[in-house]
Amino acid sequence: MLQSVVRGLRCLRDLLLLAAVVLILAPLLVVALPIVAVTELWRRVVEGRLTRQFRTTYGRAGKFVVFVYSNSPNWQERIESEVLPKLEPYAIVLNWSERSTPRWKSRPLEVRIFQVWGGSTEFNPIAILIPPTGSVETFRFWRAYRDFRHGKPVVLKEVEEKLFARVGEIAKKIGHV
């Protein structure tokens, strides 16, 4: 008999705790959900505007890549000798090491694209593909180069192969092969 009373009290305690949590979280959700929704909507509007601007500004010239890298000894030589020559006809190239220059500070379109799609972590080196139609794609190289530096070249080879294959597909579609 005593055990059933104890179980009943525990159940009542759990219900009261759940009710308290719901009463506390409900007002927070009422405030937070519209903020999250508006933030997400704004992000999509900004991304859509930047995508249209890029396509209008650079699309006619056959450009559909924003490539950002830096003068890091971990990747500069390889990027400049093996990656950029394959991307050059299609890419707008930015050097993160030059971010204090007037070109970066004036925030041209390609810098704003990098800021939106690059994010705040593992953003350098990065290839941002903005095809004539469809979604923007990102190829992040930071981890791949970290592994490469530690004697594990497989991930870097995979990312490069995927990037070059996708660039080839887009170039073929727009007639810039």
Which DSSP string do the residues of 91-111 spell out, in sequence order? EEEEEGGGTTSHHHHT--HHH
Q: Is residue 41 part of a domain?
A: no
Is there a domain that residue 12 lies in? no
For residue 115, tell me if it sits in a domain.
yes
- pLDDT score at 177: 65
Say how many domains are in the chain.
1
pLDDT-derived band at 54 (thresholds 50, 70, 90) equals very high
pTM of the model: 0.80
CA 115 to chain centre: 9
Range of the domain at 81: 61-174
pLDDT at 139 over 90: yes
Q: Which range is most confident: 29-33, 35-39, 133-137?
A: 133-137
Residue 170 resides in a domain: yes
In a domain, 65, yes or no: yes
* pLDDT higher at 23 or 107: 107
Compute the distance between CA of residue 79 and CA of residue 28 in angstroms, rounded to an integer: 48
13 assigned to some structural domain: no
Would residue 110 count as lying in a domain? Answer: yes
